[in-house]
Amino acid sequence: MEELRTLREYIEQGRYQDALLLVDDLEEMSREDKLNKIYSYAVVLLTHLIKRQAEQRTTRSWEVSMYQAADQIKRINKRRGSGGFYASPEELRQVMEEAFDLALKRASLEAFEGQYTERDLAAQIDQSDLIDEALRSVMKSGAAVDG
């Protein structure tokens, strides 16, 4: 990784301010990567929650997929070394809200064997309730967020 070599050079040369700026950049890159992964799992979780709410049924496969997605969100969000979390509860909600449209698109292809458009499916569900449920499932799968 080029950034680590550069960081080493800055430290060896006593360029501590440049090193700190690079560390900030590396931290932000890591955080963005974590949020992107959380987004991907949020799409999976929300897709199944949308289908479950719209169809008023579930399958074992959906339940396992929802559990796995919630668990992965929790694991990705947890900072290993320092403790704490990458995303606050508010940031997790924002990621869920951003993921919702893609989840709705996917669910419209799967729910009711794809016979409803996204708009039709959206009329059958409550977005806010689904996001709340998704966040609860992440917290239920372990201590996922502070607060």
Averaged pLDDT, 74-90: 89
pLDDT score for 140? 86
Per DSSP, what are the bridge partners of residue 64? Answer: none
User: Using CA atoms, how far apart are residues 146 and 104, in angstroms rounded to an integer?
Assistant: 28
Domain map (residue ranges) of the chain: 31-140
Distance, C-alpha 77 to centroid of its chain = 8
Largest pairwise CA distance in the chain:
64
Give the tens place of pLDDT for each residue, 87-144: 999 999 999 999 999 999 999 999 999 999 999 999 999 999 999 999 999 988 654 4
AA identity, residue 75: R
User: Using CA atoms, how far apart are residues 10 and 6, in angstroms rounded to an integer?
Assistant: 6
Query: How many CB atoms are closer than 10 A to CB 69?
Result: 25
Mean pLDDT taken over the chain: 92
Distance, C-alpha 62 to centroid of its chain = 18
The structure's pTM equals 0.85
